[in-house]
Structure 1
């Protein structure tokens, strides 16, 4: 037995011994994640088989660092229920992969099986949750943590090891197609959600101390790791362009993104972002990946490249060797589908000092494999029967999250009375893929609730008409006329409006999985690489709404969307507006429960909702400058402030108290439910700085709490803020205290002197 096989040694000792025995080619194999996982197998009448392409790649690397997307199913992978891997086949395939890799590796090194889980596992038979932008409306990190824990167990039972989860991006420009992957615009909300995701997925896998000094835990195979993406600033890209440039100064960068980077300390991995920051690509940014992430914030995990991002460095550096040098020197440990890291050997010949960088990256990849117990127990139990229970619990939780992810922004009619006759109209109604967002697997009918079937829980009198397409404009009025006809027969109209991130199997994709521009569907307007110049609603949607208004029937608009749209006319014409985002498989049921009052809406907007494209940007923490906020031809304020959202209840805020002692700020406020229904309320605490030597942000979200109040009930809600969070970066680029801080909650405010 070699020392690296000795369970009594620490992870550091085992890793160091193993690396000392490896050839350069074996090391190169460990930092490569070149293969698309779905190309590793095929199915025929005799079962699941491994492909020659997979075997050849393992032979090239004399092992396999990681395998991305083994279970992925979607239009890009061309895997579906005919040729893809079902949940009950996943553990078997995982074991086949591990067995082959271990037996072909001279030193018996297992691989990491890496899976996309942006809003559920992107695989057959999996639960699809609301996309992140909807989850941001919940202001409920406990739900996010519970969801992460269940997703981790689902992935573990299938044999997966690392989950890729979007969490770090901020929604600064909603023209960006990946807006749906953000939790909104708030750095603090995103920070708390990121911590909840890491805690939920990993539990106590990584603590505050250096895990390299520990032995492999006996419970290690009960865990999976999470790779948080994207590091960092993708939502800042100029003009809302995907992978665009981010012209951001260091002060803004550290004030906004510094705390987010700190939240990554316990993650097993992070994925670098496509964009540059002030001209330096994130994948070549040693200050970001080494100085900030590792040294300052003591991050212990791996840095993974985004798909083909290292090949994009070729445009800057012109050749493989210099691109390898830039990425390895910056601290990118593991590639993703690119060719650049296939040329590490040539780069080391040109730059011998790179061997030390390669060794460091190999050690980090291997340390995660040890940490997850893959060396001691690489296989998963194929006879485990817990998956059904996990999916059942996930579906129940999915409904709760979906119910809290929707925000009511106008209401003069809800809740509806049971038995009301309804005209259900809209381009989303009968296509579940419009409801789910990008990065979505094929769906079976028993996996989701339809809107019409969900509404039948409350009324049997339902009529349907499509009314409009999402983007495609029709010249004749047949769709609209049909909708008007059924609306005239109904008590009320439920109208879906918005957009779609739907993909289909006829589309073409880039080599990083983003849809190619020439194959974007006529009715797709959101998702990766689908950026827009205008936030206007597409198709004949507004014409349809105007026609329905003439029927004089009450209109409830349900916005199905991955980004905000210009809904100023929707707000004027509709009697109620519910922003449901992409609400997942349980979204239709949650909408029905809200419309008929079974669920009291509690969502709050995690963005400053713009009136239109022209007034962008409108995010709430812009700097307080001496300028006219309004334009000559348009107001500068958003349609809805950050945190806006209506309820069937009502609340009264009183008695704000603020004190400062022992380096802590204590804030409390009384909140009363003044309505006759139980209701949840999200309490938001903001700070504003005064007496600074640079222009401060107008305000910052410092904390939040979501509470349940019974009719007539009053609660005193308290917050405690450490004063080291009340800092700004001064003219000398040092952290400094403002002279005065104003704390505010719902229009009440008090100031303290620091």
Structure 2
């Protein structure tokens, strides 16, 4: 187990940096037992081992793994061990890493599905995200998984992108807070060495700039400059590196023409030389093969990626040509050794190279979520629900007769998001809006009709069914939006993305949209409800920002819930019953199609509007009907850049008043506008956010501590102290109000460069 790369042949070292297998092709579940395939044996024999195996447990339409043919949760470690035995005995003796997708919960049969990242962004609850990360890690590690591929680095800059749901926010500060919390939760706090047996190594994805792709097209280029890259897209990665994240995944896209998986300035210059980070860089699936558009052959592509800093491939044919690249003088053999050393270092971090390693840390009892885990997931779902507006329509009387209509009213799969395993048929936590309303109001008081699909109207008598459901009811709950549903009949690209896309899928990888407005068929349901029922409540369940204007105009209340997970129905009905939302918009929702970009932190000169759309931003990040009033105490603070660099900070305090008769839990954002000499300011940025509970009829105070992360310049991708004047406020308006506070960071002579 203690073998080093010096003892390995070149071919064995190449085996350690390969991750070519799709795990569901390496082991099958046959007659109640795992059976290793010849595919695995051939691969191990070819390279004398294998560094990592992806997706042994993956269950979804691409893998064609279902409950009928997949690995049962409590037998996962047994399947892993069967694979590990072949790797150990037929190769160099080095064990393999087991790598699984964990975008919002383990993507395996019985894996606990969380609300998507965009939903967690709406909750803005750092502590909850960390606690969820710890539970997800424990569940995955109990099955024997070593490495989790975790979304969170992408910053949502164009909602046309199908993977918007995988982003925490359009704001880099919020994305960074939640990415850092995820790493701390999953790997453990302060973990730069050995990762405990109830935690898991994280490979954070994707690095970098994927959320800024041209036109919101998946994998398209990010034509951005160095300042935009640093301020927006590197910030979540920097805090993850600081937290000791085990790895980064290089993204598909290019940055100003340089593919991320061949970008030495990014993967070596930024990560290792500037940040001092140590870990592995994994290529995204088939990303090295895609370098063929900028290299003459596979060997050249592999050489380019390894030289830039990629250590581990993912399904790439190009990495089978590494030996050829060395022989042709395209690649220094020392760089192959460097990459293999990093893979072995990760194996040490998870305990695989110890004298008596636990190859599969199996705990069958922990393969099913404990009650405290499910409670955390429920809280996350509640906090993901944003009450955008309410014209005294809520709370909804428990005795009301309610029509619930729309494509997402009774579609559990539409609540889950992309990269989700098939659900068990008897999931006690599952609820749709329809089922949750029936539980609260009684089945006899609920009238249901689907009315339309996600893309178009339904044939037949759908209109008559909607009219019948609306007739004689007190209120209508119209549940609209999109879905990332994948079908076992869909066609998939070579990396598992939906290829087509599927007929009724509107979100997810490979499902980018040119138009964000909801289809007219969905809006017609709102119009029908408005004409027939005295109270109309619109609910939008979706994984991307959409124009909300028509929904606001046609409803008395509007709830937005980014794919809230299996318990999303109950969470939404909680808002209907209480009249209190749990979260705030995690991104800016555009006023209409064709006005992008509209991020709340666009620079001042870009927000002039169009002749036919004077106000492009419809609903800003942070919008939502407030449960309490928030007042920032009048105070101005000054500190020097030297003090900021040495750990100094400024504290601003807000008073929260809850006049209602119930305890309120809410996120309180602090916005700011930086004035730095010679730099055009952004309209506003998120400086800090705190999640607070305020008892009924009481007042409480919340403090915002602003240090180097909050007040420093992120132009280089890490915070640097510089003279600046920051205007701060808590009102969700786009511009600073007259009573906004000022925080000054001065030079040694007491100047910010912003004096009149």
Shared fold, TM over 0.5: yes
- Shift of residue 654 of structure 1? 4.7
Question: 325, 343, 364: which one pairs with 1:347?
Answer: 325
1:497 aligns with 2:480: yes
Partner Cα separation in structure 2 for residue 641 and residue 385 of structure 1: 44
Tell me the distance in 1 between the aligned counterparts of 2:265 and 2:65: 39
Paired residue secondary structure (1:686): strand
> In the alignment, which of 456, 465, 487 is matched to residue 472 of structure 1?
456
Aligned to 1:696: 681
> SS of the residue aligned with 2:538?
strand
Following superposition, the deviation at residue 660 of structure 1 comes to 2.3
Post-superposition shift, 1:55? 1.1
Match status 1:571 vs 2:562: no
**Equivalence for 2:608:** 629
Give secondary structure in 1 for the equivalent of 2:29: strand
Structure 1 match to 2:339 = 361
Q: Quick one: structure 1 residues 144 and 652, their matched pair in 2 at CA, closer, same or farther if it must change by over 3 Å?
A: closer
Distance 1:117 1:398 in 2: 15
From the superposition, tell whether residues 49 and 557 of structure 1 become closer, same or farther in structure 2 (CA, over 3 Å): same
What SS class does the counterpart of residue 172 from structure 1 fall into? coil
Aligned partners of 2:271 and 2:473: how far apart in 1? 58
Change (3 A) 1:349 1:587: same
1:534 counterpart = 2:534: no
User: Which one of the candidate residues 582, 591, 600 is aligned to 1:611?
Assistant: 591
Q: Contact (CA 8 Å) 1:407, 1:579: kept in 2 or not?
A: yes
1:417 aligns to what?
Answer: 397
Does residue 75 of structure 1 match 2:58? no
Residues 1:443 and 2:423 are matched in the alignment: yes
- Gap change, CA 1:687 and 1:502, over 3 Å in 2: same
Q: Which residue of 2 aligns with 1:253?
A: 229
Q: 1:281 aligns to what?
A: 259
Measure how far apart 1:385 and its partner are. 2.4
Q: Secondary structure at the match of 2:547?
A: coil
The reply on whether 1:398 has 2:369 as its aligned counterpart is: no
Instruction: Using the TM superposition, name which of 584-593 and 351-360 deviates more.
Output: 351-360
Partner in structure 1 of residue 276 of structure 2: 298
Deviations 1:189-245 (A, max 9, x none): 1111111011000114733xxx4xxxxx5x743332011000011110010000001
- Output the CA distance in 2 between the equivalents of 1:100 and 1:56: 10
Residues 585-629 of structure 1: CA deviation (Å, up to 9, x unaligned): 1111111222112x832201111111112211110111223x771
Paired residues for 1:537-686 under 5 Å: 537-538=518-519, 540-597=521-578, 600-625=580-605, 629-647=608-626, 649-661=627-639, 662-663=643-644, 664-686=649-671
Is contact 1:470–1:539 with CA below 8 Å preserved after alignment? no
Partner deviation per Cα, 1:99-158 (whole Å, 9 max, x = no partner): 22111223x201000000101111111111111111100010111111110110111111
Distance 1:444 1:309, change over 3 A: same
Distance in 2 (CA, whole Å) between partners of 1:666 and 1:639 is 32
Aligned to 2:89: 103
List runs of 5+ in structure 1 lacking aligned partners: 6-16, 212-216
Report what 1:10 is aligned to. none
Q: Match of 2:114?
A: 129
Describe the shift of the 1:392–1:629 C-alpha distance in structure 2 as closer, same or farther (beyond 3 A).
same
Corresponding residue to 1:224 among 196, 200, 209: 200
Query: Offset at 1:736?
Result: 6.8
Partner Cα separation in structure 2 for residue 381 and residue 546 of structure 1: 55
1:58 aligns with 2:70: no
Q: 1:352/1:438 Cα in 2 relative to 1: closer, same or farther (>3 Å)? A: closer
Residue 505 and residue 353 in structure 1: after superposition, are their counterparts in 2 closer, same or farther (change >3 A)? closer
Question: Does residue 1:426 correspond to 2:406, yes or no?
Answer: yes
Deviations 1:171-202 (A, max 9, x none): 11100010010011010011111110110001
Unaligned runs of 5+ in 2: 732-736, 747-756
Q: Which stretch shows the higher mean deviation, 237-246 or 91-100? A: 91-100
SS at match of 1:456: helix
Contact 1:406-1:603 at 8 Å conserved across structures: yes
Q: Tell me how far apart the structure 1 counterparts of residues 292 and 353 of structure 2 sit (CA, whole Å).
A: 35
The answer to whether the 8 Å contact 2:671/2:688 transfers is yes
State the number of aligned residues: 722
**Contact in 2 for aligned 1:422/1:491 (Cα 8 Å):** yes
- Aligned runs of 1:258-269 on 2, under 5 Å? 258-265=234-241, 266-269=244-247
Correspondence for 1:749 among 730, 740, 750 = 740
Contact (CA 8 Å) 1:729, 1:736: kept in 2 or not? Answer: no
Q: 1:342 to 1:135 in 2, by over 3 A?
A: same
CA contact (8 A) 1:652 1:673 kept: no
CA offsets 1:384-417 (integer angstroms, 9 cap, x no match): 42333x3433222111100001101011211111
Q: Is the 8 A contact 1:468 1:539 kept in 2?
A: no
Aligned equivalents of 2:690 and 2:236: distance in 1?
19
Contact 1:328 1:354 in 2 (8 A): no
Cα deviation for residue 738 of structure 1 reads 4.4
> Corresponding residue for 2:138?
153
> Does structure 1 residue 27 correspond to structure 2 residue 13?
yes
1:643, CA displacement in angstroms? 0.5
Between the aligned partners of 2:4 and 2:632, the Cα distance in structure 1 is 63
In the TM superposition, residue 522 of structure 1 has moved relative to its aligned partner by 2.1
Residue 387 (structure 2) pairs with residue 408 (structure 1):
yes
Cα distance between partner residues in 1 of 2:351 and 2:232: 36
Distance in 2 (CA, whole Å) between partners of 1:344 and 1:234 is: 27
Maintained 8 Å contact 2:712/2:719: no
Instruction: Give secondary structure in 2 for the equivalent of 1:656.
Output: coil
RMSD between aligned residues: 2.1
> Counterparts of 1:419 and 1:680 in 2: how far apart (Å)?
26
Contact 1:488/1:553 (8 A) holds in 2? no
Match of 2:749 in 1: none
- Classify 1:734/1:751 alpha carbon distance in 2 versus 1 (closer, same or farther; 3 Å): closer
